Structure 1
Amino acid sequence: MPSRDFKRTDRVGAELRRELGLLVHAAVRDHALPSVSVSDVEITRDMDWATVWITALQAEQAPEALKALKELTGEFRRALARGMRLRRVPELRFKYDDSVDKGERIETLLRQDAPPAAAVDATEQDEPVDD
Protein backbone atom coordinates (compact mmCIF):
# COMPACT_ATOMS: atom_id res chain seq x y z
CA MET A 1 0.00 0.00 0.00
CA PRO A 2 1.51 3.37 -1.01
CA SER A 3 2.34 5.83 1.73
CA ARG A 4 0.37 9.03 1.97
CA ASP A 5 2.13 12.17 0.87
CA PHE A 6 0.28 14.40 3.31
CA LYS A 7 -0.77 13.76 6.87
CA ARG A 8 -4.24 14.62 7.99
CA THR A 9 -2.83 17.36 10.23
CA ASP A 10 -1.21 18.96 7.18
CA ARG A 11 -4.49 18.97 5.26
CA VAL A 12 -6.46 20.34 8.22
CA GLY A 13 -3.74 22.94 8.83
CA ALA A 14 -3.92 24.13 5.23
CA GLU A 15 -7.71 24.42 5.42
CA LEU A 16 -7.48 26.26 8.75
CA ARG A 17 -4.92 28.64 7.25
CA ARG A 18 -7.29 29.51 4.40
CA GLU A 19 -10.31 29.96 6.66
CA LEU A 20 -8.43 31.87 9.36
CA GLY A 21 -6.85 34.09 6.70
CA LEU A 22 -10.30 35.21 5.66
CA LEU A 23 -11.51 35.60 9.25
CA VAL A 24 -8.45 37.59 10.32
CA HIS A 25 -8.73 39.81 7.24
CA ALA A 26 -12.37 40.54 8.10
CA ALA A 27 -11.47 41.20 11.76
CA VAL A 28 -8.75 43.65 10.73
CA ARG A 29 -11.24 45.50 8.57
CA ASP A 30 -14.20 45.37 11.00
CA HIS A 31 -12.33 46.15 14.23
CA ALA A 32 -9.81 48.65 12.76
CA LEU A 33 -6.86 46.49 13.79
CA PRO A 34 -3.32 46.89 12.48
CA SER A 35 -2.81 45.08 9.19
CA VAL A 36 -1.85 41.44 9.81
CA SER A 37 -2.06 38.23 7.84
CA VAL A 38 -1.90 34.53 8.64
CA SER A 39 1.41 33.07 7.49
CA ASP A 40 1.06 29.50 8.78
CA VAL A 41 -0.96 27.19 11.02
CA GLU A 42 0.62 24.29 12.89
CA ILE A 43 -1.63 21.64 14.46
CA THR A 44 -0.69 19.17 17.17
CA ARG A 45 -1.01 15.49 16.25
CA ASP A 46 -4.09 15.06 18.45
CA MET A 47 -5.60 18.18 16.82
CA ASP A 48 -6.38 19.80 20.17
CA TRP A 49 -4.24 22.90 19.58
CA ALA A 50 -3.48 25.02 16.54
CA THR A 51 -0.70 27.60 16.57
CA VAL A 52 -1.59 30.42 14.20
CA TRP A 53 1.47 32.36 13.01
CA ILE A 54 0.77 35.92 11.91
CA THR A 55 2.87 38.60 10.25
CA ALA A 56 2.27 42.32 10.54
CA LEU A 57 2.74 44.95 7.89
CA GLN A 58 4.36 47.14 10.55
CA ALA A 59 6.28 45.10 13.12
CA GLU A 60 5.87 47.69 15.88
CA GLN A 61 2.08 47.22 15.79
CA ALA A 62 2.28 43.43 16.15
CA PRO A 63 1.74 43.29 19.96
CA GLU A 64 -1.46 45.31 19.66
CA ALA A 65 -2.73 43.08 16.86
CA LEU A 66 -1.83 39.89 18.76
CA LYS A 67 -3.71 41.07 21.83
CA ALA A 68 -6.82 41.87 19.77
CA LEU A 69 -6.68 38.52 17.93
CA LYS A 70 -6.36 36.63 21.21
CA GLU A 71 -9.51 38.39 22.44
CA LEU A 72 -11.35 37.34 19.26
CA THR A 73 -10.30 33.67 19.54
CA GLY A 74 -13.77 32.53 20.67
CA GLU A 75 -15.44 34.19 17.69
CA PHE A 76 -12.91 32.61 15.32
CA ARG A 77 -13.52 29.14 16.75
CA ARG A 78 -17.31 29.52 16.43
CA ALA A 79 -16.96 30.65 12.81
CA LEU A 80 -14.62 27.73 12.07
CA ALA A 81 -17.05 25.28 13.68
CA ARG A 82 -19.82 26.54 11.39
CA GLY A 83 -17.67 26.65 8.25
CA MET A 84 -15.57 23.49 8.50
CA ARG A 85 -16.46 19.83 8.81
CA LEU A 86 -14.45 19.00 11.89
CA ARG A 87 -15.60 16.96 14.84
CA ARG A 88 -13.80 19.34 17.17
CA VAL A 89 -12.23 22.70 16.31
CA PRO A 90 -8.79 23.03 17.90
CA GLU A 91 -7.96 25.68 20.48
CA LEU A 92 -6.19 28.60 18.79
CA ARG A 93 -2.91 30.15 19.92
CA PHE A 94 -1.78 33.25 18.06
CA LYS A 95 1.94 33.92 17.77
CA TYR A 96 3.93 36.50 15.86
CA ASP A 97 6.07 35.19 12.99
CA ASP A 98 9.21 37.33 12.99
CA SER A 99 10.92 35.50 10.11
CA VAL A 100 10.01 38.28 7.64
CA ASP A 101 11.49 40.91 9.98
CA LYS A 102 14.66 38.85 10.41
CA GLY A 103 14.95 38.42 6.63
CA GLU A 104 14.59 42.15 6.04
CA ARG A 105 17.20 42.88 8.70
CA ILE A 106 19.67 40.44 7.13
CA GLU A 107 19.04 41.94 3.69
CA THR A 108 19.66 45.44 5.07
CA LEU A 109 22.92 44.31 6.69
CA LEU A 110 24.07 42.67 3.47
CA ARG A 111 23.33 45.82 1.49
CA GLN A 112 25.32 47.92 3.95
CA ASP A 113 28.40 45.69 3.65
CA ALA A 114 28.26 45.26 -0.13
CA PRO A 115 30.31 47.71 -2.22
CA PRO A 116 28.26 50.00 -4.44
CA ALA A 117 27.63 48.65 -7.93
CA ALA A 118 29.35 51.67 -9.57
CA ALA A 119 32.55 50.99 -7.60
CA VAL A 120 32.57 47.35 -8.72
CA ASP A 121 32.09 48.36 -12.36
CA ALA A 122 34.90 50.96 -12.12
CA THR A 123 37.40 48.46 -10.72
CA GLU A 124 36.60 45.98 -13.47
CA GLN A 125 37.24 48.64 -16.15
CA ASP A 126 40.63 49.61 -14.66
CA GLU A 127 42.04 46.10 -14.95
CA PRO A 128 44.25 45.52 -17.99
CA VAL A 129 43.00 43.09 -20.57
CA ASP A 130 45.43 40.34 -21.58
CA ASP A 131 45.09 39.19 -25.17
Structure 2
Amino acid sequence: MGKQRAQRLAELLKKEISDIILKEVKDPRIGFVSLTDVEVSGDLRHANVYVSVYGEEKERKETMQGLKKANSYIRKLLGERIKVYHTPELLFKYDNSIEHGAYISQLIDQVNKEGREESNND
Protein backbone atom coordinates (compact mmCIF):
# COMPACT_ATOMS: atom_id res chain seq x y z
CA MET A 1 0.00 0.00 0.00
CA GLY A 2 2.79 2.45 0.90
CA LYS A 3 4.58 1.94 -2.38
CA GLN A 4 1.44 2.65 -4.40
CA ARG A 5 0.79 5.80 -2.39
CA ALA A 6 4.35 7.01 -2.99
CA GLN A 7 3.95 6.36 -6.74
CA ARG A 8 0.63 8.22 -6.87
CA LEU A 9 2.12 11.14 -4.96
CA ALA A 10 5.15 11.16 -7.27
CA GLU A 11 2.90 11.43 -10.34
CA LEU A 12 0.86 14.20 -8.72
CA LEU A 13 4.04 16.07 -7.74
CA LYS A 14 5.42 15.73 -11.27
CA LYS A 15 2.26 17.25 -12.74
CA GLU A 16 2.02 20.07 -10.22
CA ILE A 17 5.73 20.98 -10.18
CA SER A 18 5.74 21.07 -13.97
CA ASP A 19 2.73 23.38 -13.93
CA ILE A 20 4.28 25.62 -11.26
CA ILE A 21 7.57 25.96 -13.15
CA LEU A 22 5.74 26.71 -16.37
CA LYS A 23 3.21 29.23 -15.01
CA GLU A 24 4.36 30.58 -11.65
CA VAL A 25 8.16 30.73 -11.46
CA LYS A 26 9.42 33.93 -13.08
CA ASP A 27 13.17 33.46 -12.59
CA PRO A 28 14.90 34.42 -15.89
CA ARG A 29 17.66 31.86 -15.24
CA ILE A 30 15.21 28.99 -15.64
CA GLY A 31 15.14 27.99 -19.28
CA PHE A 32 13.41 25.12 -21.04
CA VAL A 33 12.94 22.50 -18.32
CA SER A 34 11.44 19.05 -18.65
CA LEU A 35 10.61 16.96 -15.60
CA THR A 36 11.69 13.43 -16.38
CA ASP A 37 10.85 11.72 -13.10
CA VAL A 38 9.94 12.25 -9.47
CA GLU A 39 10.87 9.73 -6.78
CA VAL A 40 9.24 10.02 -3.37
CA SER A 41 10.73 8.41 -0.27
CA GLY A 42 8.74 5.76 1.58
CA ASP A 43 7.79 8.18 4.37
CA LEU A 44 6.61 10.75 1.76
CA ARG A 45 8.80 13.48 3.26
CA HIS A 46 11.43 13.78 0.52
CA ALA A 47 11.17 13.90 -3.25
CA ASN A 48 13.94 13.74 -5.82
CA VAL A 49 12.85 15.74 -8.86
CA TYR A 50 14.81 14.82 -11.99
CA VAL A 51 14.93 17.54 -14.62
CA SER A 52 16.32 17.72 -18.11
CA VAL A 53 17.40 21.12 -19.38
CA TYR A 54 17.62 22.01 -23.04
CA GLY A 55 20.59 24.15 -23.96
CA GLU A 56 24.30 24.62 -23.46
CA GLU A 57 26.21 23.80 -20.27
CA LYS A 58 26.03 27.42 -19.03
CA GLU A 59 22.24 27.48 -19.45
CA ARG A 60 21.94 24.15 -17.63
CA LYS A 61 23.92 25.43 -14.66
CA GLU A 62 21.92 28.65 -14.50
CA THR A 63 18.64 26.75 -14.70
CA MET A 64 19.67 24.38 -11.91
CA GLN A 65 20.71 27.37 -9.75
CA GLY A 66 17.36 29.03 -10.48
CA LEU A 67 15.45 25.88 -9.53
CA LYS A 68 17.40 25.52 -6.28
CA LYS A 69 16.72 29.18 -5.48
CA ALA A 70 12.99 28.76 -6.24
CA ASN A 71 12.78 25.50 -4.27
CA SER A 72 11.02 26.94 -1.21
CA TYR A 73 8.57 28.92 -3.38
CA ILE A 74 7.72 25.82 -5.41
CA ARG A 75 7.27 23.81 -2.19
CA LYS A 76 4.99 26.50 -0.74
CA LEU A 77 2.77 26.43 -3.83
CA LEU A 78 2.76 22.63 -3.76
CA GLY A 79 1.53 22.74 -0.17
CA GLU A 80 -1.38 24.91 -1.27
CA ARG A 81 -2.27 22.67 -4.22
CA ILE A 82 -1.99 19.16 -2.81
CA LYS A 83 -3.38 17.88 0.44
CA VAL A 84 -0.81 15.80 2.28
CA TYR A 85 0.16 15.97 5.92
CA HIS A 86 3.74 17.01 5.12
CA THR A 87 4.70 18.66 1.85
CA PRO A 88 7.81 16.77 0.72
CA GLU A 89 11.23 18.43 0.72
CA LEU A 90 12.26 18.82 -2.91
CA LEU A 91 15.70 18.05 -4.27
CA PHE A 92 16.24 18.97 -7.91
CA LYS A 93 18.69 16.73 -9.76
CA TYR A 94 19.93 17.06 -13.31
CA ASP A 95 19.01 14.16 -15.59
CA ASN A 96 21.04 13.81 -18.78
CA SER A 97 19.14 10.80 -20.13
CA ILE A 98 17.48 12.80 -22.93
CA GLU A 99 20.82 14.18 -24.13
CA HIS A 100 22.37 10.73 -23.86
CA GLY A 101 19.52 9.24 -25.90
CA ALA A 102 19.94 11.91 -28.57
CA TYR A 103 23.68 11.21 -28.70
CA ILE A 104 23.10 7.45 -29.10
CA SER A 105 20.55 8.14 -31.84
CA GLN A 106 23.06 10.37 -33.61
CA LEU A 107 25.70 7.62 -33.46
CA ILE A 108 23.25 5.06 -34.88
CA ASP A 109 22.31 7.43 -37.70
CA GLN A 110 26.00 7.99 -38.46
CA VAL A 111 26.71 4.24 -38.60
CA ASN A 112 23.66 3.67 -40.84
CA LYS A 113 24.78 6.47 -43.17
CA GLU A 114 28.29 5.04 -43.42
CA GLY A 115 26.83 1.57 -44.09
CA ARG A 116 24.69 2.93 -46.94
CA GLU A 117 27.66 4.76 -48.44
CA GLU A 118 29.78 1.60 -48.34
CA SER A 119 27.02 -0.49 -49.97
CA ASN A 120 26.63 2.12 -52.72
CA ASN A 121 30.38 2.03 -53.42
CA ASP A 122 30.44 -1.77 -53.80
TM-align CA RMSD: 2.0
- 2:90 matched to which residue of 1? 92
Partner of 1:49: 46
Instruction: Tell me the TM-score normalised to structure 2 length.
Output: 0.85
Unaligned runs of 5+ in 2: none
In our comparison, the structure showing a higher alpha carbon Rg is 1
Residues 3-14 of structure 1: pairs in structure 2 closer than 5 A: 7-14=4-11
- Residues 80-119 of structure 1: matches in 2 within 5 Å? 80-114=78-112, 115=114, 117=116
Cα shift at 1:59: 4.5
Aligned length: 118
1:34 & 1:50 partners in 2: Cα distance? Answer: 22
For the structure 1 residues 88 and 80, does the alpha-carbon distance in structure 2 shift closer, same or farther, using more than 3 Å as the test?
same
Aligned residue type for 1:39: T
Aligned residue identity for 1:12: L
Partner SS, residue 54 of structure 1: strand
Q: Which SS does the other structure have where 1:41 is aligned?
A: strand
TM-score when normalising by structure 1:
0.80
- Which structure exhibits the higher relative contact order, with contacts defined as CA atoms closer than 8 Å and separated by 6 or more residues? 2
Q: AA paired with 1:80?
A: L
